[in-house]
C-alpha cells in the first residue's frame, strides 16, 4: 500500500471535515435582524455612510441609505448585499463591514404627576423627555422645574433635581439627561409658589405656570388676554419681595403707546395680577356722550314748552 496516497486521503478527509465544521459554525453564528438590534455600519473610505443605528419596532433603521426599508429577518450577508446595491452608485467595489449586537434592556420606574405611573422597560436608550412621553406625558399640574431622578451608583444613592424647562429653550443645544437602568423618575405637583394668579377682566382667570423672563403682558396672554372693557391704565401687580407683598399700579396703556416694552414688570412665582374693569366715568367719550344726551333731552323739553305756550 502506498503510504503517500493513504496520507493524502486522510489529509483530504481532514480538510473536508474542517470545511463542514466551519460551515456548521457559521450557520449557527448567523443572526437574523429583529427590533432592538444595534447595527454598526462601517463603509471603508466613506465616513459619512458609517455609524451605529438601532432597529426600530417596525423593522427599519434611521440609516440614511436604508431609510424606510424593513430589515426584519435579514441575515448580515443579506444586509451586505442590500447595502452593496445601494453603494454601487458611489463606488464600484465598496468594502462593507457590519456588526450586529443585542440591545440592552433598560428598566425604569416613573411616579407622580404623569398619566401612567409604573414600571417600564425598553430595548435601547432614551432621555428624560422621551421617558415622560413613554409614560403618557405629565399632567397639567406637573412641575417641570423640579423633576427628580433617584439613581444608585456604586452602592450610593444619587438624588438628581432636573429643571426640564431649561432644555426647552430655543437657544439650548443640550439634550435632556439620559435615563439609566434602574432609575426612578418622580414628577412633583405644582405648588402655589410656582404659579401666578391672574384675576379680573381677562378671558380665563386662574392659576398659570410662567416661563423664566415672562413679563406682565405675557402673563395676561396666558390668561386669554383682555376682555372687552379692561382698565389698562390701572392694572394691579402684587408681588412678593423678601417675604412682603407689594402692590403696584401699572399703566400698561402708556407703556405700549410709548413702545417701551422693557418697562413692563417681570413676573415672579407667586405674583397676583388684577385687571380691573374700566369705570365709565374714566372714559372721556362716554362722559361726553352722556352730556350730549342730557343736552338733547333738555333742548327737546324747552322746544316742547315753547310750542305749547304759543298754542295757548
CATH number at residue 72: 3.30.1950.10
Let me know: does 185 contact 108? Beta carbons within 8 Å. Answer: yes
Pair (120, 181) in one structural domain: yes
From the number of C-beta atoms within 10 Å of its C-beta (0-12, 13-18, 19+), residue 308 rates as: exposed
For residue 208, the enclosing domain spans 193-278
Considering the domain architecture, whether residues 207 and 178 belong to the same structural domain is answered as: no
d(C-alpha 100, C-alpha 300), whole Å: 98
Paired residues of 185 in beta bridges? 110, 149
Q: Is 274 inside any structural domain?
A: yes
Residue 173 — pLDDT band, cuts 50, 70, 90? low
Q: What is the pLDDT of residue 120?
A: 93
For residue 257, give the nearest of 232, 279, 236, 220 by alpha carbon.
232
Q: Is 9 a member of any domain?
A: no
Q: Is residue 23 part of a domain?
A: no
Q: Both 230 and 156 in a single domain?
A: no
Please tell me the distance from the alpha carbon of residue 132 to that of residue 96, in angstroms, as a whole number: 38
The dihedral through the CA atoms of 241, 247, 253, 257 has a sign that is: negative
Q: Contact 185/149 with Cβ under 8 angstroms?
A: yes
Whether this model's pTM surpasses 0.75: no
In a domain, 255, yes or no: yes
Do 224 and 169 belong to one domain? no
Identify whether 17 is part of a domain. Answer: no
Please indicate, yes or no, whether residues 157 and 115 belong to a single structural domain of this protein: yes
Mind listing the pLDDT tens digit for each residue in 189-245?
Answer: 876 555 788 999 999 998 888 877 889 999 999 999 999 889 999 999 998 776 677
Residue 146 within any structural domain of the chain: yes
Is residue 219 in a domain?
Answer: yes
Together in a domain, 109 and 179: yes
pLDDT at residue 9, as a whole number = 57
Q: Are residues 261 and 292 in the same domain?
A: no
- 132 and 197, same structural domain? no
pLDDT > 70: what percent of the chain? Answer: 83
Angstrom distance (rounded) from CA 89 to CA 49: 13
Let me know whether 197 and 174 are in one domain: no
Please say if the pLDDT value at position 112 is more than 80.
yes
pLDDT at residue number 20: 41
Phi and psi dihedrals of 137, rounded to 5? 85, 160
72-83 pLDDT, tens per residue? 889 888 999 999
**pLDDT per residue as tens digits for the range 30-39:** 478 887 788 8
CB-CB contact of 26 with 18 (8 Å):
no
Are the C-beta atoms of residues 290 and 262 closer than 8 Å to each other?
Answer: no
What's the CA gap between 254 and 40, in Å, rounded? Answer: 63
Residues 234, 294 within the same domain: no
Give the closest residue to 124 by CA, choosing from 104, 100, 107, 102: 104
In this prediction, residues 48-60 reach a mean pLDDT of 84
**pLDDT of 226:** 93
CB-based contacts of 77, cutoff 8 Å, min separation 6: 30
Do 94 and 122 belong to one domain? no
**CATH code where residue 208 lies:** 3.10.560.10
In this structure, are strands 196-200 and 206-208 parallel, antiparallel, or unpaired?
Answer: antiparallel
- Name the domain count of the chain: 4
| CA 138/CA 152 separation, integer angstroms | 24
CA 216 to chain centre: 25
For residue 11, being part of any structural domain is answered with: no
For residues 181 and 212, state if they share a domain: no
Amino acid at each position: 500500500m502506498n503510504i503517500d496516497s493513504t496520507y493524502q486521503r486522510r489529509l483530504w478527509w481532514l480538510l473536508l471535515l474542517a470545511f463542514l465544521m466551519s460551515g456548521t459554525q457559521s450557520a449557527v453564528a448567523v443572526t437574523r435582524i429583529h427590533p432592538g438590534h444595534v447595527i454598526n455600519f462601517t463603509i471603508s473610505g466613506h465616513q459619512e455612510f458609517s455609524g451605529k443605528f438601532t432597529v426600530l419596532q417596525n423593522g427599519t433603521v434611521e440609516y440614511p441609505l436604508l431609510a424606510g426599508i424593513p430589515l426584519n429577518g435579514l441575515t448580515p450577508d443579506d444586509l451586505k448585499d442590500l447595502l452593496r446595491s445601494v453603494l454601487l452608485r458611489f463606488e464600484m467595489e465598496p468594502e462593507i463591514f457590519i456588526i450586529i449586537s443585542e440591545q440592552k434592556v433598560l428598566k425604569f420606574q416613573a411616579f407622580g404627576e404623569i398619566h401612567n405611573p409604573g414600571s417600564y422597560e425598553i430595548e435601547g436608550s432614551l432621555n428624560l423627555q422621551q421617558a415622560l412621553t413613554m409614560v403618557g406625558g405629565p399632567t397639567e399640574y406637573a412641575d417641570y422645574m423640579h423633576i427628580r431622578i433617584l439613581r444608585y451608583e456604586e452602592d450610593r444613592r444619587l438624588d438628581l433635581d432636573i429643571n426640564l424647562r431649561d432644555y426647552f429653550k430655543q437657544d439650548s443645544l443640550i439634550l435632556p439627561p439620559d435615563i439609566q437602568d434602574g432609575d426612578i423618575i418622580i414628577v412633583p405637583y405644582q405648588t402655589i409658589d410656582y404659579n401666578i394668579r391672574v384675576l379680573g377682566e381677562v378671558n380665563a382667570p386662574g392659576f398659570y405656570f410662567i416661563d423664566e423672563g415672562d413679563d406682565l403682558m405675557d402673563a395676561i396672554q396666558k390668561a386669554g388676554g383682555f376682555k372687552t372693557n379692561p382698565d389698562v391704565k390701572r392694572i394691579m401687580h402684587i408681588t412678593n419681595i423678601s417675604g412682603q407683598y407689594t402692590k403696584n399700579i401699572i399703566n400698561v396703556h402708556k407703556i405700549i403707546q410709548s413702545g417701551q416694552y422693557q418697562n413692563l414688570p417681570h413676573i415672579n412665582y407667586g405674583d397676583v395680577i388684577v385687571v380691573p374693569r374700566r369705570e365709565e366715568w374714566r372714559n372721556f367719550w362716554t362722559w361726553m356722550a352722556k352730556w350730549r344726551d342730557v343736552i338733547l333731552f333738555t333742548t327737546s323739553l324747552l322746544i316742547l314748552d315753547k310750542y305749547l305756550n304759543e298754542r295757548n
